[in-house]
Structure 1
Amino acid sequence: MAKQYTTINDIAHAAGVSKTTVSRYLNGHFERMSEQTRQKIAQIIEETGYQANSQAQALSHRQSHLIGMVVADIENIFSSLLFKGADQVLAAADYSIMLMNANNSATLERRQLERLIKLRVDGVILQPSLMNADTYQLLADAQVPTIIVDRKVTPAKWPQVVTDNQGYSKLLVDYAARQGFQQVVVLSEAINANSARLERLAGMQAAAKEHDLTVHQVEITHDEPTGSIYAKLAQVPDWLNGRTVIYAFKGTLLTRLMETLAEFNVQIPKEVGVMAFDDWDWAKLMSSQITTIQQDPQQLGQVAAKNLLALLDHQEVPATTLVDSQIMVRKSL
Structure 2
Amino acid sequence: MKTVTITDVAKHANVSKSTVSQYLNKRFDYMGEKTRERIAVAIKELGYQPNIVARSLKQKSTSTIGVIVANILHAFSTQVIRAIEDYCHESDFHIIVCNADDNPDKEKKYIEMLLAKQVDGLIVFPTGDNVELYEKMVKDQFPIVFVDRTVDSVNVPAIVLDNEKASSLAVSHLAEKGYERIGIITPSLIKGVTARMGRINGFRQSVKEQNLPIIEDFIKSVEINEVQSTLEKMMTLPVPPQAILAGNDRVLMEILKYTKANSINIPNDLAIIGIDDVSFASIYSPALTVVSQPAFEMGKQAATLILSFIQKKEEKTLVYTFEPTLISRESC
TM-based fold match above 0.5: yes
Correspondence 1:211-230 to 2 at 5 A: 211-214=210-213, 215=215, 216-224=218-226, 226=228, 228-230=229-231
Match of 1:197 in 2: 196
Deviation at 1:277, TM superposition (A): 0.9
Secondary structure at 1:115 match in 2: helix
Q: What pairs with 1:1-333 in structure 2 (closer than 5 Å)?
A: 62-130=60-128, 133-134=131-132, 136-193=134-191, 194-214=193-213, 215=215, 216-224=218-226, 226=228, 228-239=229-240, 244-317=242-315, 318-333=317-332
Unaligned runs of 5+ in 1: 1-59
Code of the residue aligned with 2:257 in structure 1: it is E
Q: Deviations over 1:277-304 (max 9, x none)?
A: 1113421211122211111222211110
Residues in 1 aligned to 2:63 and 2:212: alpha-carbon distance in whole angstroms = 52
Moved more, 81-90 or 212-221: 212-221
CA contact (8 A) 2:145 2:157 kept: yes
Contact 1:218 1:233 in 2 (8 A): no
CA spacing shift, 1:225–1:319, aligned 2, 3 Å:
closer
User: Equivalents in 2 of 1:220, 1:249: separation in Å?
Assistant: 11
The alignment partner of 1:285 has SS state of coil
Native 8 Å contact 2:64 2:94 kept in 1: yes
For the aligned residue pairs, the C-alpha RMSD in angstroms reads 2.1
Identity of aligned residues (%): 24
Corresponding pairs, count: 270
**Could you tell me whether the CA contact under 8 Å between 1:218 and 1:232 is conserved in 2?**
no
Letter in 1 for 2:85: D
Instruction: Indicate the SS of the match to 1:69.
Output: strand
Whole-Å Cα distance in 2 between the matches of residues 77 and 61 of structure 1? 36
Task: Measure, in 1, the Cα distance between the counterparts of 2:281 and 2:211.
Answer: 28
Residue 11 of structure 2 is matched in structure 1 by none
Q: Please name the residue that 1:26 is paired with.
A: none
Alignment check: 8 A CA contact 1:61 1:121 kept: no
Distance 1:145 1:292 in 2: 34
How far off its partner does 1:309 sit?
Answer: 1.0
Partner SS state of residue 301, structure 1:
helix
Separation in 1 of the partners of 2:272 and 2:325? 17
DSSP 3-state at the match of 1:97: strand
TM-score (norm 2): 0.76
Q: Is the 8 A contact 1:132 1:155 kept in 2?
A: no
Return the TM-score normalized by structure 1. Answer: 0.76
Alignment CA distance shift 1:212-1:129 (3 Å): same
Q: Distance in 2 between matches of 1:197 and 1:229?
A: 17
Alignment deviations for residues 225-259 of structure 1 (CA, whole Å, 9 cap, x no partner)? 74x2443333544116xxx2111000111011011
Q: CA deviation at 1:192?
A: 4.4
